[in-house]
Structure formats: C-alpha cells, structure tokens
C-alpha cells in the first residue's frame, strides 16, 4: 500500500492524538473550579491555540472548547472593566456558578466564549486525510471515550495528522509520499 492508503486503512484516532505517552498531560480548563489567576498561568505556560473544558479534574468529561485568543481577550477586558474581578475570582463556564463565600470576589462568567459542541471522535474512529479540517472548517478536534461518559482522551490538529503520515512514509522510504 502507498503511505496515504496505508494511513487511511490502518490509522485510528488514538494513534494520532496528543498527548503521546511521553508528552505532558493535556492542558485543560475545568468548568467551575479555576481562578482567573490559575487560567492565566495555564494559558501563559503553553502555546496551544485552544483548551478543552472538562467538568473537573476528577471527572474529565468534555463540556466544551475555548480558544486561547478568546480567553486572553475576555480576561483582559474583565480585568480592565468589570468591578471586582481579580486573580482569585472563579472562572465559570458552567450555566450556574457554584455557591461561593458571600465576601469573596465575584466570578468571571465565560460560558459565552465556549464552543458548546466541539467536534469529537472516539479513540477507535479511523483517521481520514487532513483535508477534513478544511472541509469542516475545524482547527482541531477532541477525542472522547465512547458512550455517555465522554471522558476527554486527547486532541488532534491538522499538523498531528500530517506528522503521522510523514512517519508512516518514512518507514517505507521507496514509496512516494502523498502521491
Ligand atoms: P501550531 O500552533 O504550531 O500551528 P498546531 O496547528 O498543531 O500547531 P496547536 O493548538 O498549537 O496547533 O497544537 C500544538 C500541538 O499540541 C499539537 O500536537 C496538538 O495536538 C497539541 N495540543 C493542542 N492543544 C492542546 C492542549 N490543550 N493540551 C495539550 N496538547 C495540546
């Protein structure tokens, strides 16, 4: 088989997704338990274009996806304009903010910038060509465990697919890459 065909016939989403075993874990946001300061620290310590939002660290069920750019703009605006938003304010992506101490700072509600139905596949979904990103107008998609649990497993960008295809091609140096 040509590498492109081999890729389309044998690769599963789980073979292509990040993080690989040796990578640091996924950088995720939790829906109602991180502070503005915590979110800023996470965003500034990485270069990723976006972050999956999960219920909590204990229950990593995917609830949405937020772009880095939108997070930075919203936090910046809130810090400038919204009375009382400080580093210790809770960032809330859920519909209803959790109960908080009455003397604490007001929460920063960011549900409006979250994609509520990010494109997902499961770990055993066969991979297709990287064209899928252009065709569906996506930047990335998330991998979740099948059925209702929707546990977040990983993330795939167009570059991840291209890298995986190149790796397969390198295993077979005589073949012509991508025709
Ligand atoms: P670039 O930004 O260089 O164009 P890219 O198009 O792959 O790369 P990025 O979002 O920056 O997009 O992702 C870089 C790499 O990190 C990819 O391998 C991707 O799967 C992975 N990645 C993306 N988002 C996260 C995240 N939140 N946590 C962990 N890894 C991520």
What is the rounded CA–CA span in Å between residue 123 and residue 17?
9
Ligand 1, atom nearest to 17 Cα: 20
Residue 59 beta carbon below 6 angstroms from any ligand 1 atom:
no
Pairing of strands 108-109, 90-92: parallel
- Give the pLDDT confidence score for residue 179 in this predicted structure: 43
Quote the pTM value. Answer: 0.91
9 C-alpha to ligand 1 centroid (Å): 25
> What 8-state DSSP symbol labels residue 48?
-
Nearest Cα residue to 145 out of 123, 119, 125 = 123
- Give the pLDDT confidence score for residue 166 in this predicted structure: 87
Compute the mean pLDDT over every residue in the chain, rounded to the nearest whole number: 89
Ligand 1, atom nearest to 24 Cα: 29
Which residue, judged by its Cα, is nearest atom 29 of ligand 1?
Answer: 26
174 C-alpha to ligand 1 centroid (Å): 30
Q: What is the ipTM of this complex?
A: 0.96
> Residues of the chain whose pLDDT is less than 50?
176-177, 179
- Give tens-digit pLDDT for 123-147: 889 887 889 899 999 999 999 998 7
Give the 3-state DSSP-derived string for 59-127, with helices as H, strands as E and coil as C. CCEEEEEEEHHHHHHHHHHHHHHCCCCCCCCEEECCCCCCCCCCCCCCCEECHHHCECCCCEEECCCEC
**Mutation test residue for ligand 1: of 18, 44, 166, the one with most atoms within 8 Å of CB:** 18
């Amino acid at each position: 088989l040509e590498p492109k065909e081999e890729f389309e016939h044998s690769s599963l989403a789980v073979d292509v997704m990040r993080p690989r075993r040796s990578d640091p874990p996924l950088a995720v946001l939790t829906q109602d338990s991180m502070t503005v300061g915590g979110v800023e620290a996470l965003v500034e310590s990485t270069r990723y274009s976006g972050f999956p939002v999960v219920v909590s660290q204990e229950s990593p069920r995917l609830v949405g996806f937020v772009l880095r750019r939108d997070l930075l703009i919203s936090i910046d605006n809130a810090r400038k304009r919204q009375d009382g938003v400080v580093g210790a304010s809770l960032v809330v992506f859920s519909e209803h903010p959790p109960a908080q101490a009455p003397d604490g700072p007001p929460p920063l509600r960011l549900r409006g910038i979250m994609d509520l139905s990010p494109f997902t596949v499961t770990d055993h979904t066969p991979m297709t060509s990287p064209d899928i990103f252009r065709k569906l107008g996506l930047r990335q998609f998330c991998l979740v465990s099948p059925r209702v649990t929707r546990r977040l497993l990983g993330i795939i960008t167009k570059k991840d697919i291209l890298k995986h295809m190149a790796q397969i091609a390198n295993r077979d140096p005589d073949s012509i890459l991508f025709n």
